[in-house]
Amino acid sequence: MAKDLTITHLLFVDDILLFYDSSRNRIVDIKNALTLFQKVIGMQINALKCTISPLNLSMDESLNVQNLFPSHSYNFNDGLKYLGIHTK
């Protein structure tokens, strides 16, 4: 591992975990990239299976993210649900 390594995303078979800073521009860039992906590939992101887990965001910042990405939102500190299993 490099000393300056920054993980921005992890890809699994049919899962993507994205890590980003909370700047409005960065969030909009991710939304635009996912929208472009959907248009080019023809696949749709299933919002019912998506979750967003904000960490260290204000309530307003969390609401901005939820407005851009309509999906379930969970408090990261409460644990995550992955592969149907609630982790903490």
Do 20 and 27 meet the contact criterion of CB atoms below 8 Å apart? Answer: yes
Neighbours of 27 (CB within 10 A): 19
- Spatial separation of the C-alpha atoms in residues 13 and 15, rounded to whole Å: 6
pLDDT per position as a tens digit, 28-75: 888 888 888 889 988 887 878 777 777 777 778 878 878 887 777 776
pTM for the model: 0.61
pLDDT per position as a tens digit, 13-27: 777 777 776 677 778
